[in-house]
Amino acid sequence: MPATTGARRAALFFCKACMRKDILVALSFFNHHKTKRLHLMFGDSGIVALMKLWAYCAEHCPTGEVSRFDEIEWKLATGLDENCLEFVEALCSPAISFVDVKNSNKYIHDWEEHNGWVFHSSTRKKIAQKAASAKWGSTGSKNKLNRSQRMSDAKKKGNHSQIEWEEMRDFFKICVKCCGDSGLTELDRDHIIPLYKGGSHGLDNIQPLCAKCNSSKGWDTTDYRLIFCTSRNIKMPAKWVRSAGVNCNKTPAPSPSPIPSPIPSPKSKALSGKPDEIPYQEIIEYLNTKTGKSYRATSADTREHIAARWKEGATLAEFKKAIDNMTAKWMKDPEMCQYLRPATLFARGKFDGYVNQVLSKKVSEGVFL
């Protein structure tokens, strides 16, 4: 019989190694014929020994393979002494088979099926390490900046005073993400682009969120202030609007800009007289400013879409028109606002329609930043 056989299970024991503090045991365990047989042979101590074995495996061999066990380890795992080997022999017997024997290897019966969380703990650990590495740049503590270091870096890029924060908080009054739905009235300063991603501490990168929204936003870098203002037809003070750069910097960051300099600026195009230079950056900056998103002008996919439309004869004004039109139409729509992205807006067969979109009077009169 496996560690669990039914849908209803009871949690027992805990395991530090796999971060799981229990294993699962079927509620039908005590009435199972294999359990009864084991009990007849070894009494209560046999049942306790089996549970000890499961807990030991969860902690020391989460895949459930016990092939390596010698007599001492069997004793350690089961808590039995004199009749330990007899007990193991019973566990491996076809009539009881709490331990499966395959090609002279031994496994806890159906361990993966019934204690999958424990079984896959090492895989989860690797995934968690990979995610942490992606988030922090390294899982090693050497390279991991602590929050105060990151804050120090962020303040070099942009800063604000307590009074300035209070001014913003009083302007919005409620969480700009859930608009007060969480029921939490206290507002936290959320960094729109998180500090670990190089965001600044300037007010153009700060939005008031409730604790619930703040803790659940994850990788989201949406500027919810813009959506908030758009949906209420109010204008956010210009000093809080994110500058078109990637990191909302008010003062230049000491590190090189993530956007390579060879990207032509629209001014250089106008002055240089080279009509083929495509204003990737201006288009994406315009889109980011309108939507509060953080698309990169260096993205190959984004450049491909822009370049294709540009070669078809689209102008900078038309790109902006498409962004204006579709922002006006989709920004308030929680379903559609996700499509305010280069791949959709500048898509072949769609772009012309977006440029020439006829908006209703109500939509076109909305205030967009």
Helix (H, G, I), strand (E, B) or coil at 25: strand
Contacts of 352 (CB under 8 A, 6+ apart): none
How many angstroms separate the CA atoms of 290 and 342, rounded? 13
Q: Is the dihedral of CA 38, 41, 43, 45 positive or negative?
A: negative
Contact pick of 210, 246, 248, 283 for Zn ion (by CB under 5 A): 210
> What's the min distance (Å) between Cβ of 170 and Zn ion?
17
Q: How far is the CB of 220 from Zn ion (least distance, A)?
A: 12
Does position 91 interact with Zn ion (CB under 5 A)? The reply is no
- Among 45, 133, 182, 357, which residue sits at the site for Zn ion (rule: CB under 5 A)? 182
Q: Which residues pair with 106 in a beta bridge?
A: 101
CB atoms within 10 A of CB 37: 16
Nearest residue to 368 via CA among 249, 241, 270, 193: 241
- Taking the complex as a whole, the smallest distance from the CB of residue 174 to Zn ion amounts, in Å, to 8
Residues in a beta bridge with 65? 107
Is residue 242 within 8 Å of 268, Cβ to Cβ? no
The torsion region of residue 86 among left (phi > 0), alpha (psi -120 to 50) and beta comes to: alpha
Q: Is 26 in the site for Zn ion (CB under 5 A)?
A: no
Distance of CA 101 to the CA centre of its chain: 41
The position carrying tokens 């968690």 is 128
The smaller minimum CB distance to Zn ion, of residues 216 and 233, is found at 216
Q: How far is the CB of 199 from Zn ion (least distance, A)?
A: 19
Binding mask 213-252 for Zn ion (x = CB under 5 A): x---------------------------------------
175 binds Zn ion (CB under 5 A): yes
Stretch binding Zn ion (CB under 5 A), from 49-57, 68-76, 112-120, 176-184? 176-184
Residue number, 23 or 210, with CB nearest to Zn ion: 210
Please state the closest distance from residue 215 (CB atom) to Zn ion, in A: 10
Quick one: 178 or 259, whose CB is closer to Zn ion?
A: 178
| Buried b / exposed e along 132-148 (16+ C-beta atoms within 10 A) | eeeeeeebeeeebeeee
Number of chain residues interacting with Zn ion (CB under 5 A): 6
Q: Which is nearer to Zn ion, 184 or 363 (CB)?
A: 184
What backbone phi and psi angles, to 5 degrees, belong to 320? -65, -35
Of positions 41, 101, 178, 259, contacts Zn ion by CB under 5 A: 178
* Beta carbon of residue 177, minimum distance to Zn ion (angstroms, whole number): 5
Contacting range for Zn ion; rule: CB under 5 A; set: 120-128, 150-158, 204-212, 311-319: 204-212
Q: How far is the CB of 197 from Zn ion (least distance, A)?
A: 21
Q: Which stretch binds Zn ion (CB under 5 A): 173-181, 260-268, 295-303, 318-326?
A: 173-181
CA distance 205 to 192: 5
Q: 30 to each of 1, 36, 39, 44, 280, how far by Cα in Å?
A: 11, 7, 9, 11, 69
Q: Which stretches of the chain bind Zn ion, using CB under 5 A?
A: 175, 177-178, 182, 210, 213
